[in-house]
Amino acid sequence: RNRRAGAPGGFYVVAGVGLNLFNREPTTCLRDMLDGAGYRGAAEELTREGFAALFCREFESLLGVLRGQGFAPLSTRYTDMWMHTGQRVEV
């Protein structure tokens, strides 16, 4: 049976993202990464609200491509950023 997201009897997908913006310990944070890459001004101006707005803008754009054209246009970008080649991943 063919099911579509949001259709009666279909399914919904919930995506969750967590990013450490400011807490240096016990791991690393985006502010330190920006500063270390030479973007001190951006690191100093980083806010939760600003990052959320940038993230949502990019996410909505990618979601529009996915809905309209499927995964094919995003495939190369995805695989270029894939971090788990050669690693065992459990879901």
Q: What is the DSSP string of the chain?
A: ----BTSTT-B---------SS--SSS--HHHHHHHTT-HHHHHH--HHHHHHHHHHHHHHHHHHHHHH-SHHHHHHHHHH---TTS----
Structural tokens at position 58: 């990019």
- Confirm whether pTM is higher than 0.85: no
Q: What is the pLDDT of residues 4-63, one digit of tens each?
A: 656 677 777 777 778 899 998 888 899 999 999 999 888 899 999 999 999 999 999 999
Q: 8: cis peptide before it, omega within 30°? A: no
Q: What is the pLDDT of residues 56-86, one digit of tens each?
A: 999 999 999 988 998 899 998 888 888 777 8
Name the residue with tokens 């995506």: 15
